[in-house]
């Protein structure tokens, strides 16, 4: 939800360019950074701040379908309700103009940001938004640190430029909507072409203040930039932990399946699927680490497709989901709580089943069995329970 102390704000993500400087046939904003399209990462940064009622994403018309698909895949459904995807124009100026036209009525402040700057921090976004609210117009920039030389066409230095008071403009660039519209109208009238929003505002005589950005908020334009961004994001990627618990009742007339193994026993676990309580706890831990709810949401027991199904097949589906999210299983530790039958002779076979389905090394999965010394429902042999913890790690890009 938008912050109460700020006016209605929107963001325009300018991804209308089709620059192919990176090589390949996709514009740079569609390239993958650590497994996710740069465009989706940038859009997510803005949605995550919760400052914006609307985020307008401007993309080349030819890539609009691809953009819609990747944003749908990457962003949570509730965030997507705040997204507006529109076609860009021939220049950045035309693209941002199209974004401005698409803003919902009542939007007071707008931040324009390059789609190819995915490493922008929420702190910078907030600083720029607040400065734009206070001053009317503000841009993010960093002071020039290197000595500047002016050279002629033969690379011969003509002079050293005084860097005092010189800044490198970045985005976001924020402005009251009404001022930015006025600046665009004037630029249209004068046939003025600027390389950023501030140039248009300056052309219209509207004062613009600077807020300090960050070296990390660079624009990805060359393959080197992508490698640098990969390094910086990998550091930010953290491991994910998940926990799962499940219990099923032991009943006559059912096979006992644990860890995908058929275990000789006069009782079996009751359930809609094969009731493999060990795999269910494991699946819940994996889903939990991914932030994907629980097994019941993905495989409802009201669905006849899952009646009697081997839980190894359900696990295989969850492993597919992991890969889609560019996550891999670091390790899993699973404990089965079972008074009888004795599970020790079957643990290796169970582990082999899980290792095969998950495509990991044997040491990545550990399965233990314990009793509760005849205490409680497991101790009385009424049922079997299982606990699982997992650690997920980002897959190398």
Task: Please report, as ranges, the residues that interact with Mg ion according to CB under 5 A.
Answer: 246, 280
Nearer residue to Mg ion within complex by CB, 54 or 311: 311
- As measured in angstroms, the least distance from the Cβ of 337 to Mg ion is 14
Q: Alpha-carbon distance 262 to 276, whole Å?
A: 10
Those residues whose C-beta lies under 8 Å from the C-beta of residue 284, and which sit 6 or more positions away, are 242, 243, 244, 245, 246, 294, 295, 388
Q: Give the residue at shortest CB distance from Mg ion.
A: 280
Residues with Cβ within 8 Å of 86's Cβ and at least 6 positions away in sequence, in order, are 56, 57, 58, 59, 98, 99, 102
CB 334 within 8 A of CB 278: yes
Q: Which is nearer to Mg ion, 74 or 280 (CB)?
A: 280
Alpha-carbon span 378 to 177, nearest angstrom: 65
CA distance 213 to 125: 9
Quick one: 51 exposed, middle or buried, by C-beta within 10 A (0-12, 13-18, 19+)? buried
The Cα 67–Cα 60 span in angstroms is 9
Strands 32-33 and 36-37: antiparallel
Q: How far is the CB of 333 from Mg ion (least distance, A)?
A: 19
Task: Supply the minimum distance, in Å, between the C-beta of residue 360 and Mg ion.
Answer: 23
CB 355 to Mg ion: min, Å? 21
Nearer Cβ to Mg ion, position 212 or 301? 301
Spatial CB neighbours of 323, under 8 Å, sequence gap ≥ 6: 395
Nearer to Mg ion, 28 or 280 (CB): 280
197 or 246, CB closer to Mg ion?
246
Comparison of 66 and 316: residue with beta carbon closer to Mg ion = 316
User: Of 232, 223, 198, 16, whose CA–CA distance to 115 is shortest?
Assistant: 16
| CB of 190 or CB of 303, closer to Mg ion | 303
Contact 363, 330 (CB under 8 A): no
For residue 176 the two structure tokens come to: 């009251």
Q: How far is the CB of 79 from Mg ion (least distance, A)?
A: 31
User: Taking the complex as a whole, how short is the minimal distance between the CB of residue 248 and Mg ion, in angstroms?
Assistant: 6
Minimum CB–partner distance for residue 245 and Mg ion (Å) = 10
């Amino acid at each position: 939800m938008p912050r109460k102390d700020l006016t209605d704000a929107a963001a325009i993500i300018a991804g209308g360019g089709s620059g192919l400087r990176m090589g390949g046939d996709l514009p740079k904003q569609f390239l993958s950074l650590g497994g996710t399209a740069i465009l989706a990462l940038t859009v997510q940064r803005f949605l995550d701040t919760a400052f914006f009622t609307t985020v307008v994403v401007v993309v080349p018309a030819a890539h609009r379908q691809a953009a819609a698909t990747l944003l749908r895949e990457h962003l949570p459904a509730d965030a997507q309700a705040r997204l507006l995807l529109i076609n860009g124009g021939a220049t950045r100026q035309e693209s941002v103009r199209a974004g401005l036209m698409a803003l919902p009525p009542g939007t007071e402040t707008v931040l324009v940001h390059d789609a190819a700057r995915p490493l922008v921090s929420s702190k910078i976004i907030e600083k720029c938004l607040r400065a734009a609210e206070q001053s009317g117009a503000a841009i993010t920039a960093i002071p020039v640190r290197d000595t500047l030389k002016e050279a002629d066409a033969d690379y011969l230095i003509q002079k050293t430029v005084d860097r005092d008071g010189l800044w490198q403009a970045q985005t976001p660039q924020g402005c009251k909507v009404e001022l930015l519209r006025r600046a665009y109208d004037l630029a249209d009238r004068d046939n003025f072409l600027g390389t950023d929003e501030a140039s248009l505002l300056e052309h219209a005589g509207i004062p613009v203040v600077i807020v300090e950005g960050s070296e990390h908020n660079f624009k990805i334009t060359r393959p080197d930039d992508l490698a640098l961004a990969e390094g910086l994001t990998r550091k930010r990627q953290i491991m994910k932990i998940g926990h799962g618990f499940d219990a099923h009742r032991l009943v006559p007339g059912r096979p006992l399946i644990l860890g995908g193994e058929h275990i000789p026993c006069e009782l079996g676990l009751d359930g809609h699927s094969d009731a493999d309580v060990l795999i269910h706890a494991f699946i819940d831990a994996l889903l939990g680490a991914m932030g994907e709810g629980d097994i019941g949401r993905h495989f409802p027991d009201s669905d006849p497709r899952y009646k009697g199904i081997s839980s190894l097949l359900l696990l295989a589906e969850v492993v597919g989901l992991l890969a889609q999210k560019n996550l891999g299983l670091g390790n899993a530790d699973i404990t089965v709580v079972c008074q009888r039958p004795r599970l020790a002779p079957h643990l290796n076979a169970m582990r082999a089943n899980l290792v095969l389905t998950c495509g990991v090394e044997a040491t990545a999965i550990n399965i233990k069995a314990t009793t509760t010394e005849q205490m409680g429902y497991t101790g009385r042999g009424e049922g079997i329970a299982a606990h699982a913890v997992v650690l997920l790690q980002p897959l190398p890009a």
